[in-house]
Amino acid sequence: MAVHAFRQLRDFLNSQVIGQPELTEHLLIALLADGHLLVEGPPGLAKTRAVNALAKGIEGDFHRIQFTPDLLPADLTGTDIYRPETGEFKFQRGPLFHNLILADEINRAPAKVQSALLEAMAERQITVGKRTYKLPPLFTVMATQNPIEQEGTYPLPEAQLDRFLLHLVLDYPDAETEQRILQLTRNESIQGEHSMPQPLSQNAIFAARKATLSLHMETSIETYLVQLVMATRRPAAYSDELANWIEYGVSPRASIALERCARARAWLLGRDFVTPDDVAAVAHNVLRHRLILSYQAEADGVTADKVLDTILQLVPAP
């Protein structure tokens, strides 16, 4: 029943966001794995629309934050406001206290603001002055980056990137999909937007998260998952070429993310067990932002995706 409800939600997302099935699938994977999503792609690829549609499909509230160079940490977390009538300070909650957050163009804000967001993502709490405030139990951030305009941006350091469960790279749709997008927007202008039949309750989401953790995973698949991670740290054991490409491998947080995302994918497909294909299917989006490539790799035009393709070829699947 729970899987059926999530499939309905996925179908609804795909009806609202044409031509981005990977984005809609990984939004649900991030929701199930209790993690956050970083999406990189040109403007106009329905990133905001996708999160809006997800917010309509679940019981929860949504807030969009446009990151700019003049943004302050208090603009995210909130601040203490003085009340003259009582002579006391009262905490005014900021936008981070919503369930779904779209952090638009996160790399346009300075480091202090990025840190305020990423601390909330990691600790699920906010500290203002001497007080700490818990964030909602359901708290998911989707941050976006624009790869075209790099002037006036503050790239996320590698340690902060590691806080994101997944990193998706989107591209423009093909001609057929573009035509379907035109038809969708025209129909919406005439008929209005489709509504989600029955929003998912937060309790259903928490129950689904527990269900994914109870899926069966063979020891051989755990070993395969760990070997993929170890190949990024000890690449010389697999090939000299790989060793020349990788400066630093991925962290233990990557192993946890890889397992949780593989479990979430298997559960969404209606299985009660995880396969090597589940691990391989999410490997690029889990690992690409955690790899630090060497200067030689960058000079040769080698991307993180090419490195991961090579690792998946060299590490034998069970």
The per-residue pLDDT for 28 is: 92
- For the chain, the structural domain boundaries read 2-171, 208-314
Distance CA 271, CA 180 (A): 32
Q: Which CATH superfamily is domain 208-314 in?
A: Magnesium chelatase subunit I, C-Terminal domain (1.10.8.80)
The per-residue pLDDT for 282 is: 94
The per-residue pLDDT for 318 is: 84
Do 2 and 204 touch, CB atoms closer than 8 A? Answer: yes
Place of tokens 């497909």: 269
Distance CA 134, CA 118 (A): 15
Residue-by-residue pLDDT tens, the chain, 318 positions: 578 888 888 888 888 888 788 888 999 999 999 999 998 877 777 777 888 888 888 888 888 888 888 888 888 888 878 788 777 778 888 889 998 888 888 888 888 888 888 888 888 888 877 788 899 999 999 888 877 555 556 677 777 788 899 998 887 777 887 788 787 777 766 655 556 667 888 899 999 999 999 999 999 999 999 999 999 999 999 888 898 999 989 989 999 999 999 999 999 999 989 999 999 999 999 999 999 898 988 888 889 999 999 999 999 988
Closest CA to 260 of 290, 292, 305, 225: 225
The per-residue pLDDT for 214 is: 92
Same fold, 2-171 and 208-314: no
Distance of CA 278 to the CA centre of its chain: 17
* Torsion sign, CA atoms 48, 49, 55, 61: positive
Distance CA 308, CA 316 (A): 13
Confirm or reject CATH 3.40.50.300 for domain 2-171, answering yes or no.
yes
Task: Tell which phi-psi region holds residue 310, choosing left (phi > 0), alpha (psi between -120 and 50) or beta.
Answer: alpha
Do 115 and 132 touch, CB atoms closer than 8 A? Answer: no
The per-residue pLDDT for 193 is: 56
Structure tokens at 198: 């029955």
